[in-house]
Structure 1
């Protein structure tokens, strides 16, 4: 009968307590940043969707701004107003709506996460 040998340190696997705490800190930090960033990204998607709708349905600058303003009131978008849109026509005669804006998230003290959006839709 063979005697059972005790497990040696080199054969043990797993995570140490310090490693567990560090991974937990990283996961919590990413969750906090993600929870603050997701609403800004969703608002940008709504702005783009409203700008596309306005560019396709409007024929004049006033119509494009009015269509965007209605969508802005419905979706509660505050970053880009209808007056912030740059409306022009391209060489083919299609209306092009451009916008750019910046949003920042204060993370901790002087540290900010900055989003810069610059888009042009037809």
Structure 2
């Protein structure tokens, strides 16, 4: 007669595996915490540019001054000034575009470079 082995097999994660995943998730959380504010800044700039373009300013200096006024109120806009905006007219409508780079310090000599660019609707 054959006997069946009824022993239980261990399941789960080892301590080394747990440490590996813990470090991996912690690094991911740190990078996310550093990137999210730059994404929020981009959307704030985009919203400001859309608002200015919808108002159809008469001159380029007026559009730049309006952006600088919004920038003085919105504390999160630090990467772009009114002088950095590219302003043109297409089909009698003002188009405002912008582009900038954000460098995020990760650790030691490692940086994350994010290139943002946007345009009014």
TM-score clears 0.5: yes
Runs of 4+ in 1 over 3 A off after TM superposition: none
Deviation at 1:113, TM superposition (A): 0.6
Distance across 2 between alignment mates of 1:53 and 1:114: 28
Deviation of 1:63 (Å)? 2.1
Residue from 22, 25, 48 that aligns with 2:23: 25
Q: Does 1:72 align with 2:83?
A: no
Over aligned residues, Cα RMSD in angstroms? 1.4
Gaps of 5+ in 1: none
What is the CA–CA distance in structure 1 between the aligned matches of 2:63 and 2:53, rounded to whole Å?
6
Q: Return the TM-score normalized by structure 1.
A: 0.87
TM-score of the superposition, structure 2-length normalised? 0.88
Residues 21-41 of structure 1, C-alpha deviation per residue, up to 9 Å, x if partnerless? 011001100111111111111
Alignment coverage as a number of residue pairs: 115
State the SS of the aligned residue for 1:41.
helix
Is contact 1:54-1:65 (8 Å) kept? no
Structure 2 match to 1:101: 100
